[in-house]
């Protein structure tokens, strides 16, 4: 008994007509009949009731068909999973990220090389990522801070300098460098609690021994630059967020 025999049996069981089943399978009818007979001999029990040219699935055949359906479906799922694991051409990856902005260009470059790859991206907070990863809902998390959970591995994929973004003509705008402590009394623009890079910024402020005065907290990274440029306050930004439209950063 092999998977081909099971596939033949399933087709005959559904059509319940040997000649029509042979036509669908593109094999000769005598060869199909011989295969079904050999399968029944291997099992030691008839799977069909036969009356002349008529063939009907019997009680044993119906019970066996349920198991065959399960087995063939499982094998099909296994083949599909192996095909996905064996390469990126048609693979599927579930990602959880805090910000889509930095991922946009690398993702576009990757998909240009592997257009059949399937990405599912979920934007969420660092706090929620751990549960998604441990629950099997995502495969990879891209986050500014590593998880502390046992059984979860992390690796550095990007390093960047952190800058203080200030409005044009600010008193710090001619500085080449500055410590966070020097800006302790500045009005800061930050992210909402737990969002994006705010947990990492909190670590920086804690290490500097200051408690920043937030004049504004936002939920979108793009809002940081526009608010700083408008003179609302200053903010910590990463090097990767710098562009020609950014405010002065030091």
What's residue 248's pLDDT? Answer: 52
**Within this chain, do residues 166 and 241 fall inside the same structural domain, yes or no?**
yes
**Within this chain, do residues 115 and 56 fall inside the same structural domain, yes or no?**
no
Flag whether pLDDT at 150 surpasses 50. yes
Flag whether pLDDT at 201 surpasses 60. yes
In terms of C-beta distances under 8 Å and separation of at least 24 residues, what long-range contacts does 124-131 make, across chains too? 124/96, 124/97, 124/98, 125/98, 125/194, 125/195, 126/98, 126/194, 126/199, 127/194, 128/96, 129/96, 129/98
CA distances for 120 relative to 64, 68, 117, 242, 246, angstroms: 38, 33, 10, 27, 30
**Within this chain, do residues 127 and 167 fall inside the same structural domain, yes or no?**
no
**Within this chain, do residues 120 and 54 fall inside the same structural domain, yes or no?**
no
Give the domain-ending residue among 159, 187, 219. Answer: 159
**Within this chain, do residues 243 and 167 fall inside the same structural domain, yes or no?**
yes
Domain that holds residue 132: 87-159
Q: pLDDT band at 247, cuts 50/70/90?
A: low
**Within this chain, do residues 148 and 187 fall inside the same structural domain, yes or no?**
no
Rounded to the nearest 10°, the torsion over CA 208, 211, 212, 215 is 170
CATH for 99 = 3.40.190.10
What's residue 115's pLDDT? Answer: 76
Cα 166 from Cα 247, distance rounded (Å): 6
**Within this chain, do residues 171 and 243 fall inside the same structural domain, yes or no?**
yes
**Within this chain, do residues 184 and 112 fall inside the same structural domain, yes or no?**
no
**Within this chain, do residues 100 and 140 fall inside the same structural domain, yes or no?**
yes
Give the domain-ending residue among 124, 159, 194. Answer: 159
0.85 exceeded by the pTM? no
Q: pLDDT band at 63, cuts 50/70/90?
A: very high
Question: What percent of the chain lies above the pLDDT cut of 90?
Answer: 29
Q: Do β-strands 48-51 and 54-57 pair in parallel, antiparallel, or remain unpaired?
A: antiparallel
**Within this chain, do residues 169 and 188 fall inside the same structural domain, yes or no?**
yes
Give the domain-ending residue among 106, 141, 159. Answer: 159
Flag whether pLDDT at 170 surpasses 50. yes
Number of domains into which the chain is organized: 3
Q: pLDDT tens digits, residue range 67-96?
A: 999 998 898 888 777 766 665 555 678 888
**Within this chain, do residues 169 and 153 fall inside the same structural domain, yes or no?**
no
Mean pLDDT, residues 160-178 taken together:
88
**Within this chain, do residues 48 and 63 fall inside the same structural domain, yes or no?**
yes
Q: pLDDT band at 250, cuts 50/70/90?
A: very low
Q: What is the mean pLDDT of the chain?
A: 83
Q: pLDDT tens digits, residue range 99-134?
A: 777 777 888 887 787 777 777 888 887 778 878 888
């Amino acid at each position: 008994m092999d998977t081909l025999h099971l596939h033949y049996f399933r087709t005959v069981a559904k059509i319940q007509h040997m000649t029509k089943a042979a036509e669908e399978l593109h094999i000769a009818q005598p060869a199909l009949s011989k295969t079904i007979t050999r399968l029944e001999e291997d099992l030691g029990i008839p799977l069909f009731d036969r009356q002349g040219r008529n063939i009907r699935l019997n009680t044993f055949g119906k019970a066996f068909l349920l198991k065959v359906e399960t087995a063939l479906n499982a094998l099909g799922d296994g083949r599909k999973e192996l095909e996905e694991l064996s390469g990126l051409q048609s693979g599927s990856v579930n990602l959880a990220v805090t910000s889509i902005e930095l991922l946009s260009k690398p993702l576009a470059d990757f998909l240009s090389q592997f257009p059949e790859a399937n990405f599912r991206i979920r934007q969420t907070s660092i706090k929620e990522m751990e549960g998604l990863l441990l629950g099997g809902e995502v495969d990879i998390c891209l986050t500014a801070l590593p998880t502390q959970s046992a059984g979860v591995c992390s690796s550095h994929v990007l390093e960047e300098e952190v800058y203080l973004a200030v409005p044009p003509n600010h008193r710090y705008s001619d500085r080449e460098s500055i410590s966070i402590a020097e800006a302790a009394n500045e009005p800061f623009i930050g992210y909402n609690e737990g969002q994006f890079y705010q947990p990492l910024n909190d670590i920086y402020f804690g290490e500097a021994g200051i408690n920043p005065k937030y004049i504004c907290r936002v939920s979108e990274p793009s809002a940081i630059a526009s608010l700083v440029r408008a003179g609302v306050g200053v903010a910590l930004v990463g090097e990767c967020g710098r562009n020609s439209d950014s405010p002065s950063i030091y």
